[in-house]
Amino acid sequence: MNKQKFLDILKSRVLIMDGATGTELQKKKYLEGVEIPEEINIKFPERIAEIYSSYINAGSDIVLANTFGANSIR
């Protein structure tokens, strides 16, 4: 999607974003078997896909990357 199309959509309606990925992972006990949350992306990508699919099915227009605190400093 290009920038102008995105801006046009924003002018015409409210977009719904996902949220609470970490909370969903904890609720489903999906963080068991990983030492740090970022690791789940590599070890269990299907768990992330399941949660994000549920966000889309619930009506989310935008799904955010679950980077948690992944960065060079951390």
Averaged confidence pLDDT in the chain: 86
Burial 5-16, CB ≥16 within 10 A → b, else e: eeeeeeeeeeee
| Structure confidence by residue, pLDDT tens digits, 61-70 | 888 877 777 7
Domain boundaries, the chain: 16-63
- pLDDT, tens digit, for every residue of 40-62? 888 999 999 999 999 999 988 88
Task: Please tell me the pTM assigned to this model.
Answer: 0.73
Nearest to 40, CA basis, from 73, 71, 29: 29
Q: Which residue has the higher pLDDT, 20 or 29?
A: 29
Determine the pLDDT at residue 65: 79
